[in-house]
Structure 1
Amino acid sequence: MRRRFWLLLPLLSLAGALQAQAPLDLPQQAASAQPAEAADYQVLDFDWQDKSRQREVPVRLYWPAQAASAAVPLVVFSHGLGGSRQGYSYLGRYWASQGYASLHVQHVGSDRRIWTGNVFSLIGRLQDAAKESEALDRVRDMRFALDRLLAAEQGAHIDRQRIVAAGHSYGATTSLLLAGARPPDAPAGLQDERIRAAIIISAPPFYGQGAPEPILAPVRVPTLHVTATEDVINVPGYHSEAGDRLSVFEATGGQRKRLAVFTGGSHSIFTDRAGTGGVTLNPQVKAATRELTLAFLSSVFEGREEGLQSWHQRWKPLLARWQ
């Protein structure tokens, strides 16, 4: 079990029961998780292959329409266990509509393909996805995808000083490793110095590796941590309380870090799934989350703190904790 230092089973989006939530007094546009933009971005799919590892790296790129006329920042996004490049589109579309390119990387060893095939071998496929080798390959997928994009036609328009790692659940762990987290069993060279900030959504702890502080203290880039009070993972053979997400935040290094905890919700409320965590709360949390990420990045890259302050006032009814 020690070899599986990421213990990735908690990253299943199966967790999180549907919970009814009372409507809150929030802005009208929060009723939908879909951004209001029109045709101000492109969606481009690329089927890349890392020949050095003989591994497919499919990606989806949300590309801002104005990218040809100005250097644009970039978010490199990692999905949770069983996801794909099509997932978390509510974030990719919104970021692109606001001038951020968003590269969503699909990890073939732990993507949606684990749900296909013989149901009786599903547990085995999940265990394979939880292996240390796959956790390492996910990090390498992100580095490879970033390399390819920067070398492509679009790379000339990317601001190299504003590259962000982001991810949900398993993808949050992947992003932390890119940002500098160092489990004692991990090989050297996982951190990517091109990453200047990280968005960490529903991060699981590093089980089997002792106290989290030595692992996460090396993270020095600004981080935004997003979770919910009911962000609980409960699957056969594994249980993780919502407080584990807070422990990750507390242990993460760096002087610039933020935490948003929504009241209620579920582990999978941050995916594209509708209804999970509450049919009313679900789109509200998505709208609040996408706006928070942009306010955070504006603070990091432009020094504008007023966006975070106004965000807090705007979404305060949803929040159990903000710091």
Structure 2
Amino acid sequence: MTMRRRLLLQAGLAGLGALALARQGLAQPAPWRAEEFDWHDGGRDRSVPVRLYTPSAEAPSALPLLVFSHGIGGSRRGYSYIGQHLAGRGIASLHVQHVGSDRALWFGNLLSLPGRLRQAADPSEALARVHDVRFALDRLLAEPGRRFDAQRLAVAGHSYGANTSLLLAGAALPGYEGLHEARFKAAVFISAPPLHGVARPEAALAAVRLPSLHVSCTEDVIRVPGYYSEASERVRLFEQTGSAPKLLALFEGGSHSVFTDRPGTGGVVANPRIKAATQALVGDFVQAVFDGAAPAEALAPWRAAHAGLLADFRSA
């Protein structure tokens, strides 16, 4: 039987959440709630834990939905500031946990950590992540009593999760054919690593056609055992992506992990400011796409409000 845990963050819990956000300098969202489900994909005999953020009040119409994929070593409880913000403005956010590349990697013998990370980055796990997202989306849309707008769906992810989102958005990698999820109308790639090992990454990325938002920072360097990636590779991936339209928001400073829930990374002052700007940016972008508006024009007020944080902002 599927275990379901409802976490209604109200009263005392809501007060604690608001206090934590205030301490980080993040805007407090409108009322929201979070629910956790421990789903199981019987076809693959694989656990798919998820966390769903929705408005706490009943919506008058079907909710738009964003599905979020975490980075390596993350969990369904990560990137909560994005989920809370979206739910507070009427957009549901489903955060999928990928067993095999989740937080369990950090537990165990430190000497074997590099091996666990290599296994988590194996092509089989990259493929499993895509199917995790598709399974979770199908399961949620089929939940009785739920109302989600199947015409307003978006996918997003950070780091490894951004690569997962790229495959779902149509990136044509050899050996990963047929993974494009046509139901998604927009994609958000946060700190997307380059497609290492792909003979022609520009051709693979050119196949991504849906509107996309790329988010990074000038110190977005990936350093994990056995892997290194320069910040400039995030910009190059944006340039090679075939999306129309596409936007790049590049923050000054920061770090690769500044977009996670970890406080202080990338600078004690910069961290909450980048998070606050990122949550608003993601919300404004997907809302613009869902509304049929030109994202670059719709984001002009956001760009003006956060100009002091930006090293670069482009649209194409």
- Structure 1 residue matching 2:282: 3-state secondary structure: helix
Is 2:114–2:226's contact at 8 Å kept on the other side of the alignment? Answer: no
Distance in 1 between residues matched to 2:77 and 2:25, nearest whole Å: 16
Counterpart selection for 1:37 from 14, 29, 42: 29
Higher relative contact order (CA 8 A, sep 6+): 1
**Is 1:275 matched with 2:264?**
yes
The list of structure 1 runs, each at least 4 consecutive aligned residues, that deviate by more than 4 angstroms after superposition, is none
For structure 1, which runs of at least 5 residues remain unmatched after alignment? 1-28
Contact kept in structure 1, 2:155 and 2:184, CA below 8 Å: yes
**Gap change, CA 1:279 and 1:154, over 3 Å in 2:** farther
Say which of 74, 80, 96 aligns to 1:89.
80
Q: CA, structure 1 residues 53+135, in 2 after alignment: closer, same or farther (shift >3 Å)?
A: same
Percent identity of the aligned residues? 56
Indicate conservation of the 8 Å contact 1:44/1:61, yes or no: yes
Describe how 1:37-116 pairs up with structure 2 within 5 A.
37=29, 40-116=31-107
Alignment partner of 1:266 out of 255, 260, 264: 255
Gaps of 5+ in 2: 1-20
> How far apart, CA to CA, are the structure 2 residues paired with 1:315 and 1:133?
40
In structure 1, the partner of 2:227 is: 238
Is the Cα–Cα contact under 8 Å of residues 85 and 104 in structure 1 kept in the other structure?
yes
Paired position in structure 2 for 1:160: 150
Q: Which moved more, 1:278-287 or 1:249-258?
A: 249-258
**Structure 1 contact 35–93 (Cα < 8 Å) conserved:** no
TM-score (normalizing by structure 2): 0.89
CA–CA distance in 1 between the matches of 2:245 and 2:144? 33
- TM-score, L = length of structure 1: 0.87
1:139 is aligned, of 122, 127, 130, to: 130
2:264 is paired with a residue whose SS is coil
Give the counterpart letter for 1:289 in structure 2.
T
- Superposed CA offset, 1:266-321 (max 9, x none): 00000000000000000000000111112212321221655401111100011010
Number of the residue aligned with 1:250: 239
> Separation in 1 of the partners of 2:294 and 2:22?
23
Mapped partners of 2:144, 2:53: distance in 1 = 14
Mean CA deviation greater in 69-78 or 292-301: 292-301
Counterpart position of 1:182: 172
In structure 1, give the amino acid aligned to 2:216: T
Contact 1:30 1:288 in 2 (8 A): no
Mapped to 2, the partners of 1:318 and 1:143 lie a distance apart of 35
SS at match of 1:153: coil
Q: 1:299 to 1:197 in 2, by over 3 A?
A: same
Offset of residue 67 of structure 1: 4.3
Aligned match for 1:227, one of 216, 227, 235:
216
Partner of 1:201: 190
- Indicate if the aligned counterparts of 2:212 and 2:244 stay in contact, CA closer than 8 A: no
Corresponding residue number in structure 1 for 2:9:
none
Change in CA separation of 1:268 and 1:176 when aligned onto 2, cut-off 3 Å: same
Distance 2:282 2:224 in 1: 29
Deviation at 1:30, TM superposition (A): 9.5
Query: What amino acid maps onto 2:155 in structure 1?
Result: A
Single out whichever of 281-290 and 58-67 deviates more from structure 2.
58-67
Report deviation, 1:62. 0.4
**1:111–1:125 Cα change, 3 Å:** same
Change (3 A) 1:67 1:220: farther
Q: 1:30 to 1:247 in 2, by over 3 A?
A: farther
Q: 1:290 aligns with which of 265, 279, 282?
A: 279
Structure 1 CA distance, aligned partners of 2:111 and 2:150? 46
- Say which is worse superposed, 117-126 or 279-288, in terms of deviation: 117-126
Corresponding residue number in structure 2 for 1:22: none
| C-alpha separation in 1, matches of 2:225 and 2:247 | 32
Distance 1:154 1:83, change over 3 A: farther
Equivalent position SS for 1:69: coil
Preserved CA contact (<8 Å) 2:22 2:28: no
Contact 1:298 1:307 in 2 (8 A): no
Shift of 1:239: 1.8
